[in-house]
Amino acid sequence: MIKKTPKQSTLQGIKSLFVGLRVTGHNFVMPQITTHYPRQEVDNLVTYRGHIELVPKEDDPMTSKCILCGQCAKACPSNCIELVIRKEEVEPPPAAEAQPDADKEEAPPKPAPKKKVKRILEAFILDYNLCSLCGQCVQTCPVDSLEFSTNSYLAGFTREEFVFELLERMRKKYKASSSG
Amino acid sequence: MNIAPELIHIAVALAAIAAFIGLNGLVLVWLERKVAGHIQRRPGPYEVGPWGLLQPVADAVKLVGKQLVRPKVADPWLYWSAPLLSFTPVFLLFLTIPFGPRLIGMEFNLGLLLILAFSGLNVLALCLAGWSSANKYSLLGAARAVAQSIAYEIPLLLAVLAIAFQFGTLNLSTIVHHQGPMPWQWNVMTQPLAFIIYFICAVAETNRAPFDLPEAESELTAGFHTEYSGMAFGLFFLAEYAYIIVISCVATVLFLGGWHGPGAPGFWWFLLKVYALIMVIIWLRWTYPRVRFDQLLNINWKWLLPLALVNLLLTLIFVKM
């Protein structure tokens, strides 16, 4: 590097003063780039990561893609996901006797004729008060049934307002979009 | 009862000055925040009143309503006298400034001297404020204020002296009369170096960024006024803006032809030039980062002071020729 003489550095310093003034002067006359929040809202929020939402199946928008594996609840470091699962006994089709062996809910002793248990998602409860938005649940989900919402203007007055039932939200959203 | 007409004139002038300072304080706070906002591509204040025009009023009401607190260990006399000492000389400074051909508080042969002398009181006020607060940030701010003001007062005086030599007077009205209506007849054309030196020193004297070391919020919390609350802080704040107006007024009188202007001369030309200078000062503040303390003193002792001396010498030679 060539060392500058004091004269050179002084001239350069003086020049930089005018460059600085030109930069701020230019920005002064340019249009604003901020959003006046309560009056305007931003619209380019695709990259915003809000709380999670369930993704509906493509062919049936009232059911979620979720396969009830519970990996999201296990992965969550804040324990804010809770799956409410209802079991329904269905008559086994005569041929298919095989049970999914990973099913640990099969504890109670049963009488001889084995019945198949169908697990149905009653509710997907997210306690957003505890969520740290780490995104582990979205990453863990094997069937991509979780996504981030884009509501950056979420606000409420009580803790209870931030305990969401995601299944219900998903259905409401579909109903709203299909009716409106 | 027989009251001298000059006394009435001065009383009216003082009342007008008080109104002018108060109104300007409000306008400049708004202007500063708007300019800062636009330079940073945001709107600035816009919620209170149309275009945020009532924002400074809301701020002033807040300041007036706040409790005045004094630290237990602070010296009560010095602590409370400092903001008053900072603000009251401002009235005297405006008294001799010729706003228009006849719009002047008091014709005074030593007007320039009066302004320079009484603006020096502000340093004392800052020093007392920082010293009596019994706070290390305040003390550091005060020490910086004193070092900075003493350093920059010398080239400022030398630059002003060049003009005084040129016309052989310290009367501001006479200096304005010596200049013409057209920009090339203004002193800034004959004394460009003096103008630049004066302007830099004036910005430093008023502790404005990039020379805002006595306040230096990122280093010293708030510097000399760290402990002040409510209207005690408000007076310092108002005084700062008043001094900005004063230095802009003096620059206009000495270098930019005062109330002269193309077309109709009058106080509008004066105010226009003053506000243009204030805009430049605000622009500087939102452009440059704060100088370091050694840089601050280097600029002064290594550059401004020698240049001012050379300028004065050249002026002397030209005047005597």
CB B152 within 8 A of CB B199: no
A66 pLDDT more than 80: yes
CB A127 within 8 A of CB A163: yes
- Partner-chain contact B42 A25, CB within 8 Å: no
Nearest to B287 among A24, A29, A36 (CB): A24
Nearest to A24 among B42, B43, B283 (CB): B283
- CB contacts, 8 Å: B39 with chain A: 24, 27-28
Is B77 near chain A, with CB under 8 Å?
no
Lowest mean pLDDT among A104-118, A119-133, B205-219, B305-319: A104-118
Q: How far apart (Å, rounded) are the C-alpha atoms in residues B241 and B95? A: 17
* Spans in chain B with pLDDT lower than 50: none
- Partner-chain contact B39 A27, CB within 8 Å: yes
Nearest to A28 among B38, B43, B46 (CB): B38
Q: How far apart (Å, rounded) are the C-alpha atoms in residues B279 and A26? A: 15
Chain A contacts in chain B segment 155-184 (CB below 8 A): none
Which pLDDT score is estimated for A100?
A: 54
Using pLDDT thresholds of 50, 70 and 90, give the confidence band for residue A103. low
- Partner-chain contact A27 B40, CB within 8 Å: yes
Q: How far apart (Å, rounded) are the C-alpha atoms in residues A36 and A123? A: 38
Nearest to A20 among B40, B46, B288 (CB): B288
- Partner-chain contact B41 A32, CB within 8 Å: yes
Q: Please give, rounded to a whole number of angstroms, the shortest distance from the CA of A158 to a CA of chain B.
A: 28
- Partner-chain contact B35 A28, CB within 8 Å: yes
Q: How far apart (Å, rounded) are the C-alpha atoms in residues B198 and B77? A: 35
Return the amino acid letter for B110: L
Q: How far apart (Å, rounded) are the C-alpha atoms in residues A48 and B295? A: 45
Q: Using the 8-state DSSP alphabet, how is residue B68 labeled?
A: P
Which pLDDT score is estimated for A157?
A: 92
As given in the structure block, the two tokens for residue B230 are 């409510």
- Give the chain A residue nearest B303 (alpha carbons): A10
Q: Which domains does chain A have, with CATH numbers?
A: 52-90+115-179 (3.30.70.3270)
Which pLDDT score is estimated for A112?
A: 59
- Partner-chain contact A27 B35, CB within 8 Å: no
- CB contacts, 8 Å: B42 with chain A: 32-34
The three-state DSSP-derived secondary structure of A39-103 is CCCCCCCCCCCCCEEECECCCCCCCECCCCCCHHHHHCCCCCEEEEEEEEEECCCCCCCCCCCCC
Mean pLDDT of A135-150: 88
A99 pLDDT more than 60: no
Q: Residues of chain A whose C-beta is under 8 A from some C-beta in B?
A: 17, 20-21, 23-25, 27-34, 36
CB B203 within 8 A of CB B281: yes
Among B287, B290, B292, B304, pick the best mutation site for testing chain A contact (most A Cβ within 10 A).
B287
Nearest to B41 among A17, A25, A34 (CB): A34
Which pLDDT score is estimated for B280?
A: 92
The residues that bridge with A52 in the sheet, in sequence order, are A148
Q: Please give, rounded to a whole number of angstroms, the shortest distance from the CA of B282 to a CA of chain A.
A: 11
Nearest to B43 among A20, A28, A36 (CB): A36
Which pLDDT score is estimated for B321?
A: 77
- Partner-chain contact B287 A27, CB within 8 Å: no
CB B269 within 8 A of CB B236: no
Q: How far apart (Å, rounded) are the C-alpha atoms in residues A157 and A161? A: 7
- Partner-chain contact A32 B283, CB within 8 Å: no
Model ipTM over 0.90: no
Is B43 near chain A, with CB under 8 Å?
yes
The listed range with the strongest mean pLDDT (A1-5, A138-142, B90-94, B169-173) is A138-142
Q: Is the peptide bond before A142 cis (omega within 30 degrees of 0)?
A: no
What's chain A's average pLDDT?
81
Mean pLDDT of A59-88: 86
Is B51 near chain A, with CB under 8 Å?
no
What percent of chain A lies above the pLDDT cut of 70? 85
Nearest to A34 among B42, B283, B287 (CB): B42
Quick: pLDDT tens for B221-240.
Answer: 777 888 888 888 888 888 88
- Residue indicated by tokens 């020193």: B201
Size of interface A-B (CB pairs under 8 A): 34
- Partner-chain contact A27 B41, CB within 8 Å: yes
Q: Give backbone dihedrals phi and psi of B208, rounded to 5 degrees, phi first.
A: -90, 155
- CB contacts, 8 Å: B284 with chain A: 21
- Residue indicated by tokens 């602070």: B74
Using pLDDT thresholds of 50, 70 and 90, give the confidence band for residue A169. confident
- Give the chain A residue nearest B279 (alpha carbons): A25
